[in-house]
A = this chain, B = another copy of it.
């Protein structure tokens, strides 16, 4: 079931008719982005009650805080609290069709070259199916294990430092080598590293081992130092989580982004892909998490986020979609959940 953020303890007791009316209003409003009137509710959903009755119920729902009226004599729109109630107590995730599942499986498993491509594929899938903007936060690779370090001579005075992990991830950096260091030296140094580091986690590397090596080898001081510094830099640069974003353009179809200012704020939020993860709501473990409007951190209070965590080699990543508050939560939740499950299956 859906994890509720559950701010402002929501009354769970709505009679069936109120629930039905709330649902109708939410579905209509999400579809049209216009306030929904009492007549529209009875007409569209073939309710066996009159518009006047619906009006009474709507007044009640407004009183309870689930609906809002932009102005007298307009229809009602769901409040954020209304969406929250719907999401927590009424919604059923919309399942992907068989073709969509197939598409998803292909995106993850078929003909992919490397991890980066899988991630890009999944992000694209998410944004394409939900028609919102998707994001994937890829945890940094601290916990992957060291496999090789190699120093390959490139050109005179230059060598390539290669660091390979058990996942086949590679970090590399060009370094300068002082004169008088032979190819054999480079190989020896590589071997030394490999001995000391074998099967260690990357995050452990940074602590003391570098120092150990430094002390262990006094001759060839200069080149070793260079190599060590380079390794240190590599590890540093791999420290940040990566963020992949897809489907920004989808937002332009949402009427809420007709407002240029709102659009600009959204785009600057995601322009630097790395900053966005500071603005995302806290993820809670691997479960599905829906964060609506004001429930979000500062710069996203006029949007909603449907996201889930996933475990990748012991690190927790997140992925999900960002859309307007007037979001098709059922579809977004269904899609994110499907992706989460599939990833979980595959990684275990």
Partner of A168 from B158, B252, B268 at Cβ < 8 Å: B158
Partner of A237 from B113, B147, B249, B264 at Cβ < 8 Å: B113
Q: What is the size, in residues, of chain A's interface with B at 8 Å between Cβ atoms?
A: 30
Take A173-B114, A237-B113, A267-B252 as given contacts and tell me if A155 and B148 are in contact as well, using a CB distance cutoff of 8 Å: no
Determine whether the beta carbon of A249 is less than 8 Å from that of B268: yes
Interface residues of A in 124-153 (CB under 8 A from B): 147-148, 150, 152
Determine whether the beta carbon of B233 is less than 8 Å from that of A248: no
Per-residue B-contact encoding for A159-184, CB less than 8 Å = 1, 0 else: 01010101010101110000000000
How far in angstroms is the closest Cβ of chain B from A194? 11
Partner of A248 from B113, B148, B160, B267 at Cβ < 8 Å: B267
Partner of A160 from B164, B173, B268 at Cβ < 8 Å: B164
Chain B residue nearest to A175 in the complex (CB):
B168
A263 within 8 A of B: yes
A271 within 8 A of B: yes
Determine whether the beta carbon of B114 is less than 8 Å from that of A174: yes
Determine whether the beta carbon of B260 is less than 8 Å from that of A252: yes
A154 within 8 A of B: yes
Per-residue B-contact encoding for A14-31, CB less than 8 Å = 1, 0 else: 000000000000000000
A258 within 8 A of B: yes
A228→B140 CA distance, assembly (Å): 31
A173→B263 CA distance, assembly (Å): 39
Interface residues of A in 35-86 (CB under 8 A from B): none
Determine whether the beta carbon of A249 is less than 8 Å from that of B267: yes
Partner of A154 from B147, B150, B174, B267 at Cβ < 8 Å: B147
A162→B27 CA distance, assembly (Å): 53
Take A252-B260, A263-B252, A271-B248 as given contacts and tell me if A166 and B173 are in contact as well, using a CB distance cutoff of 8 Å: no
How far in angstroms is the closest Cβ of chain B from A258? 7
25 pairs, A vs B, C-beta closer than 8 Å: A113-B173, A113-B233, A113-B237, A114-B172, A114-B174, A147-B152, A148-B152, A150-B150, A152-B164, A154-B164, A154-B166, A155-B166, A158-B168, A160-B164, A162-B170, A168-B172, A248-B271, A249-B264, A249-B267, A249-B271, A252-B260, A252-B263, A252-B264, A252-B267, A258-B260
